[in-house]
Amino acid sequence: MNTKIKLISLITSLCALAIPVSSAAAKKAHNISTATRIVYAHGSHQHSNLFSIKPDGSSLKQLTDHKSKNWEPEWSPDGKNIAFTSDRDGDYEIFIMKADGTGLRQLTHNTAIDRHPAWAPDSSKIFFVSTQDSPKTQIYSMLPDGSQRTRLTNYEDHATHPACSPDGKKLVFQLGGINKRSKKKSEIYSIKTDGSELTNLSNNPAHDKVAVFSPDGSFITFQSFRDGNFELYRMLADGTEQTRLTNHPAKDKRSSWSPDSSRICFQGYRSGHWEIYTMNPDGSNIKQLTSGDTDSKHPDWSGYLK
């Protein structure tokens, strides 16, 4: 009888210990579903606007309304602003707006190509690419008001799609091969945010493109053509342990992490056009968020919104 009492007491204790864990997990899931959003571009190749949704695909909001190409959105880490690319004035320029789509401002003003905005982790700076001083796109930085533009790279090939590490010390980006027909294959490189210490991270003969850090800086996700089709991969921040995450006959591209690293959003061409999906960091549990008759692409997951 005494043994039975001890066993019941042990089970009760274990159940009591499990309650806080379950509550914490529920709170975490609740925060992600209610306090974050995913912004993306929706429309045709010629005309697209920016929308945001909750991570479960609900609460759709249109943020821009302009008959031009509005795409490549990037949340500021503080959740207050979204930087994006638009050709509404005749060529690609960087714009910024508040998270609800108000307060639109144009940050770059020139006849060059200005694209691919990416924020520093403290929201104090925006990295982007431009042809303002070179026939090939190079990486620049500027303040969120468009001032103090500084060129960071000077390569013989296109440097594109910069993304900053969570500690603000490094950038990952794509060098070369701006499309899959390019003879020179693209690779994922890293540099310090002052442009020094170039390091090849992907080291693969196929196209490797569009890399982003996980929120804790441990991982980098990117897209690769090494399987004869663009799929999403994950590697450690030093380029090791490259692991395939998606495996589908259609193309999968452009990843972005949830702020708690529990999910990854991406665009997939699985229905005859681009739609937004989420998955676990190991590639499992894929869920489709958008469904329409035209493309939804360039997803970016916000941090926790106040």
User: Given pLDDT bands bounded at 50, 70 and 90, which one contains residue 152?
Assistant: very high
CA distances from 212 to 67, 119, 183 (A): 29, 12, 24
Residue 263 lies in a domain: yes
Task: Write out pLDDT tens, residues 245-293.
Answer: 999 999 999 999 999 999 999 999 999 999 999 999 999 999 999 999 9
Please tell me the predicted confidence (pLDDT) of residue 29.
52
Is there a domain that residue 257 lies in?
A: yes
Cβ partners under 8 Å of residue 228, min gap 6: none
What's the rounded mean pLDDT across residues 182-190? 86
184 pLDDT band, cuts 50/70/90, is: confident
- State pLDDT tens for residues 8-17: 344 344 443 3
Residue 17 placed within a domain: no
Ranges of beta strands (E only) in 87-238 are 93-98, 105-106, 114-119, 126-130, 138-142, 150-151, 159-164, 170-175, 187-192, 199-200, 208-213, 219-224, 231-236
* pLDDT, tens digit (0-9, with 9 covering 90-100), for 118-131: 999 999 999 999 99
Residue with tokens 């090494």: 226
SS3 18: helix
Q: How does pLDDT run across 17-37, given as a tens digit for each residue?
A: 333 433 444 445 558 999 999
Task: Give the position of tokens 């990416």.
Answer: 118
User: Which residue stretches of the chain are H helix?
Assistant: 2-35
Cβ-proximal residues to 211 (8 Å cutoff; 6+ apart), any chain: 161, 163, 172, 173, 174, 188, 201, 202, 220, 221, 222
Q: What DSSP line would sit under 254-268, residue for residue? A: EEEE-TTSS-EEEEE
Task: Enter the tokens of residue 248.
Answer: 């589908």
Instruction: Evaluate whether residue 18 is within a structural domain.
Output: no
- pLDDT score at 15: 40
Band the pLDDT of 180: cuts 50, 70, 90.
low
Which uninterrupted H or E stretch holds 244?
strand 243-244
Range of the structural domain that residue 271 is part of: 36-301
Residue 269 lies in a domain: yes
| pLDDT score at 8 | 39
Q: For 80-106, what is the mean pLDDT?
A: 97
Say if 174 falls within a structural domain: yes
**Residue 133 C-alpha from the chain's centroid:** 27
Report strand pairing: 138-142 vs 150-151.
antiparallel
The predicted pLDDT at position 178 comes to 72
Question: Does 3 score more than 50 pLDDT?
Answer: no
Q: How does pLDDT run across 43-72, given as a tens digit for each residue?
A: 998 999 999 999 999 999 999 999 999 999
Q: Is 5 within a domain?
A: no
Structure confidence at residue 26 (pLDDT): 42
Per the structure, the count of domains in the chain is 1
For the ranges 62-76, 171-185, 213-227, which has the lowest average pLDDT?
A: 171-185
Mean pLDDT, the chain, rounded, equals 90
CATH number at residue 127: 2.120.10.30
Neighbours of 304 (CB within 10 A): 14
d(CA 18, CA 12): 10
Answer yes or no: is 138 within a domain: yes
